[in-house]
Amino acid sequence: MRSLRFLLSRRWALFALTVIVLAALAWRLGEWQFHRLDERVARNAIIERNLDEPPVPVDQVLAEGDPVSRDEQWRRVTATGHYDTANTVVVRYQTREGAAGVDVVVPLVTPSGVALLVDRGWMMSENRGADVTDVPAPPAGEVTVIGWVRIDGTGDSTAVSDHSVRSISSTTIASALGLRLYGGFVDLESETPSPATQLTRTELPELDNGPHFFYGLQWWFFALLAVFGFFYLLYDEWRGPRSQRTKHPAVDGEHGAGDPARRG
């Protein structure tokens, strides 16, 4: 057997440092996954609570130009007004079960003059594109809508080009089209009167906890496996080469019963 002085060698020092870094990184990734799980659980609790609430007037939840609180995400609101079809916006590159299409967003102008962006639903579109003249008309005259409150998108995807966007932002659309808008937007649940052509309604969010728990356990397992592997290799090195640990049995021809010197 050997002493542990081999740990002072350059090779083992680098090996130990590598294991420490990899184990720490894997452990941190596991903690990150569990942190995401906590966020998901909190998000689901808010959504479940809001989905169970009856709809309230839009002014109780949204305000002109104000961002939507995450606590109000998926809250149901109701508003009455008329659709401003001239400022219809389509959301490009939306798919449903593999089919290409667009979401149709129309401002609903309320009696106060402030409009609410209403995502009226999805329609199939071969070019995933942007011609607002092809979308089905919403109900004319006074319309009452009920919808789920959504938070504005962010980043370059919200840029308005030829009345089309890749994600919805009330701030960007208000600036581009010169409109007064409530902050955020709503995914339509119902509208009265009903339109001649019904669009496909928005799907409600999934409320499962996702794969974060198992991903977290997986990363922690990798961290423990790295540490275990290091100490196993350390133990194997400490025992010395296999050739020095193996005992060779005596040869029968030397001292066994077949030796002529041991007979008679």
What is the per-residue pLDDT across 116-133, written as a single tens digit (0 to 9) for each?
999 999 998 865 555 666
Q: Give residue 218's pLDDT.
A: 93
Eight-class DSSP state of 97: T
pLDDT digits (tens, 9 = 90+) for 140-176: 999 999 999 999 999 999 999 889 999 999 999 999 9
What does the domain layout of the chain look like in residue ranges? 54-192
Q: Compute CA distances 1 → 4, 7, 241, whole Å.
A: 10, 14, 9
Q: Mean pLDDT, to the nearest integer, of 43-51?
A: 86
Cα four-point dihedral sign 142, 179, 155, 149: negative
pLDDT digits (tens, 9 = 90+) for 215-258: 999 999 999 998 898 888 787 777 766 555 555 554 444 444 45
Say how far apart CA 82 and CA 109 lie, in whole Å: 5
Instruction: Report pTM.
Output: 0.71
